[in-house]
Structure 1
Amino acid sequence: MDDTSHSKVRLTSAEIANLWSQYVNDSMSICILKYYLKNVQDKDIKSILEFALELSERHLEKIKEFLDEDKYPIPKGFTNEDVNPDAPPLFSDIFMLIYMHIMTIHGLTGYAGAVSTSIRKDQISYFIQCNTEAMELYKRILEVLVDKGIASRPPNINAPEKVDFVKKQSFLTGWFGDRRPLNAIEASGIFFNMKKNVGKIVLEIAFSQVAQSQELREYFQRGQKLCDKHYEIFGDLLSESNLPSPPKYDSEVSSSTVSPFSDKLMLYQIVTLISTASGYYGAAFSLSQRRDLATKYAILIAEIVKYAEDGVNILIDHGWMEQPPTFDDRRELASKK
């Protein structure tokens, strides 16, 4: 008998976690997209933003249906209170497109994880649909990036004359003496993480000049310095192998000091991006075969985890961190008898 039909079984904890996380993130996206749409000038980029907003709004309605059916509370997430659409432009059209590129990559990663952790048929179908829509969004974004000549292409690599196999243990070394050039897998991980750091740097520059709280302004400035440091470390590794770095977009921030977003939204955005970065660093770490790369990644991961933790503590101190779905504390329940 099929026990995966939504009419027969409750949502699992993993499925609730997927829906809860998507609701919070999409509610934040709606705030950001509404602001972008008030300021964007380029018609091609505007079309991207409109499509993304349509998807996010549709997701929220569907998630409400799922959670209501299961009698699970709808998260608060982010609302119109967290955005000022009439604030002056803070970002250029180019950065809006770069931002959408990065966030769509995050969405694709999240939807793939949601499919793999879902059991109910309706949940699997829903997240497959989300993934399909995100792939279409990604395709449109990349086409515009390429058409406008701002797509950041990873380095090219020359084809070998024949298939070869590693013959020396020195393939793994990297601390002392001559280091072998990066392989394509290692360079790909470095380049990808640099592109994501570029996006975080721009956000941290912008948020540090519009945040209401001095504490947050200092936190964002600290994050900018940390991401710049990581960008330089990664860039040096590419340079050793005579490979280019992706461009930076620091100049795509205006001089506005009027915040389009609440401090809560800006802090949540940065903490989420930094926390996700630790996962992407970890993936690159696991595929790096030069020992010096593994050591560098371990150090960099520790730095960003500490920075993210400090951001979470600020969210908690201000009462801004919505508690994720949490299991009952059985010991606490027992103590109340």
Structure 2
Amino acid sequence: MRDKIIHLTSGEIATLWTGYMNDSMSKCVLKFMLQHIEDPDIKPVVQNAYDISSSHLDSLLTIFEQDNYVQPNGFVEQDVNLDSPWLYTDLFCLSYINHIAKVGMVSYSGSVAMSDREDIRNYFTNALNESIELFNRSTEIALAKGVNARHPYIEVPKETNYVDSKKYMSGLNPLTQKRPLNAIEISHLYMNIETNTIGLKLCLSFAQTSPTKEVQDFMLRAKKVSQKHIKVFTDTLLENDMDVPEVPDLAISDSTTKTFSDKLIMFHMSLLMSAGIGNYATAAAASQRSDLMVDYERLSLEVSKLAKSGADIMIENNWLEQPPRTKDREKLARNKEG
């Protein structure tokens, strides 16, 4: 018990709510994966991810109770059908774990920075360290199996150089030759190929197994967007005589049995799209060729429009849980009695 009550700030309320929603969703997905994984090397890391999500939820519930913070609905056992057939290969599950660990590292580092109270900072610091360990462990397993998706190789620099022309930043003029990509630009292009590949496979699996036509149609639209973006990034690498490394075969089965609730899969896609927009913004800021900046900006707008249409579907079906917010003071003033 704390001797002095220190109320939660808006930043802490937001990050705790987000963490609960994400972990309750992850727990459902990971529990389903554990039903079917056979690889003795991969299953323990998926179990570890499941245990982490379960532990997070317990810790968050303790904080909620302590601070009289109403528990979000999030996602529960009814949001996953554990009796449905196999849907994801063991290798896909490994890649999925690696991906959510990356998302966790970004998310939890931001949550630490937005927290002031010691117990909240400690919680998110621990969650960040767990995400780092999960990423390292899943990467080591993928390397040992020879299925890790490696970024393209370039020659190691032997000398330092400075930019000697403003043309270094150009790239939009079709009449001039674009300079070769630098290492930073290559790394972001390839990372976004990876993340879109995982998103594409998830879209297919959700489209196959959702019984709702508007959700199926949305997932197929999202799949096409991912395919288009993969092609844009791949073509950019190929135009620069870069080999595009093989992304592991992230196969899914042909099951059409309902596996996850529509509420869960729409939330999952919303989370992926938010992460994707963040990745594109980071990539645009890090890229120094103007054509790449423009590509990331227009593709971000495309994802934002898709996310908006997904949110509309969630609102229409009462699937979109509202984050904590302030009271409408003007409304309270107008509606008060007397």
Asked if 2 retains the 8 angstrom alpha-carbon contact of 1:211 and 1:263, the reply is yes
Q: How does 1:2-151 map to 2 (within 5 A)?
A: 7-151=4-148
2:245 paired with 1:242: no
What is the match of residue 301 of structure 1?
300
Shift in alpha-carbon separation, 1:10–1:303, aligned structure 2, 3 A:
same
Q: Provide the rounded CA distance (Å) in 2 between the counterparts of 1:246 and 1:270.
A: 26
> What is the alpha-carbon distance in structure 1 between the residues aligned to residue 3 and residue 185 of structure 2?
43
After TM superposition, give the deviation of residue 253 of structure 1 in Å. Answer: 1.1
> Which residue in 1 is equivalent to 2:156?
159
Deviation at 1:231, TM superposition (A): 0.2
Note the 1:159-308 alignment, pairs <5 A. 159-176=156-173, 177-248=176-247, 252-308=251-307
**C-alpha RMSD over aligned residues:** 1.3
**Partners of 1:160 and 1:129 in 2: CA distance:** 37
TM-score w.r.t. length of structure 2: 0.96
User: Quick one: which amino acid aligns to residue 92 of structure 2?
Assistant: F
Change (3 A) 1:34 1:161: closer
Cα shift readout 1:11-43 (whole Å, capped 9, x = no counterpart) = 111111111101011000110111000000101
1: distance between equivalents of 2:335 and 2:21? Answer: 32
**Percent sequence identity over aligned pairs:** 37
Query: In structure 2, what is the Cα distance between the partners aligned to 1:128 and 1:6?
Result: 23
| 1:325 match | 324
Amino acid at match of 1:17: A
1:139-182 CA-to-partner distances (Å, cap 9, x unmatched) read 11001110111111111221333211010111111122111111
Q: SS in structure 1 opposite 2:288? A: coil
Q: Which amino acid aligns with 1:108?
A: M
Q: Structure 2 vs 1, CA of residues 44 and 87 (structure 1 numbering), >3 Å: closer, same or farther?
A: same
The code of the aligned residue for 1:186 comes to E
Structure 1 alignment gaps of length 5 or more: none
Go from structure 1 to structure 2 and tell me whether the alpha carbon gap of 1:224 and 1:163 turns closer, same or farther (over 3 Å shift).
same
- The one-letter code matched in structure 2 to 1:19 is L
Q: Which runs of 5+ in 2 are unaligned?
A: none
Following the alignment from structure 2 to structure 1, what is the Cα–Cα distance between the partners of residues 303 and 70?
Answer: 32
Contact 1:6–1:122 (Cα < 8 Å) also in 2 = no
> Which sits farther off after the overlay, 30-39 or 158-167?
158-167
Which residue type is aligned with residue 311 of structure 1? G
d(CA) in 1 for partners of 2:206, 2:159: 51
